[in-house]
Amino acid sequence: MTTQQPQQPQQPQPYKKPLPVLEPETRPFWEAAARREYMLKRCSSCKQFHYPPQNVCPHCLSSNTVWIRGSGYGKVYSYTITYQGGGPGYAEEVPFVLGIIELDEGVRVWSNVVGIDPKEVKVGMVVEAVFENVAGQGIAIPRFRPRPQKKA
Q: Which residues bind Zn ion (CB under 5 A)?
A: 43, 45-46, 57, 59-60, 62
Alpha carbons 137 and 72: distance in angstroms, whole number: 22
Shortest separation between residue 28's beta carbon and Zn ion, angstroms: 18
Q: Which residue number, 41 or 143, has a Cβ lying nearer to Zn ion?
A: 41
Q: Which residue number, 62 or 71, has a Cβ lying nearer to Zn ion?
A: 62
What residue type is 126 in one-letter code? Answer: V
Shortest separation between residue 59's beta carbon and Zn ion, angstroms: 4
Shortest separation between residue 22's beta carbon and Zn ion, angstroms: 24
Contacts of 125 (CB under 8 A, 6+ apart): 75, 76, 113, 146
Q: Which residue number, 54 or 137, has a Cβ lying nearer to Zn ion?
A: 54
Shortest separation between residue 71's beta carbon and Zn ion, angstroms: 20
Q: Which residue number, 41 or 75, has a Cβ lying nearer to Zn ion?
A: 41
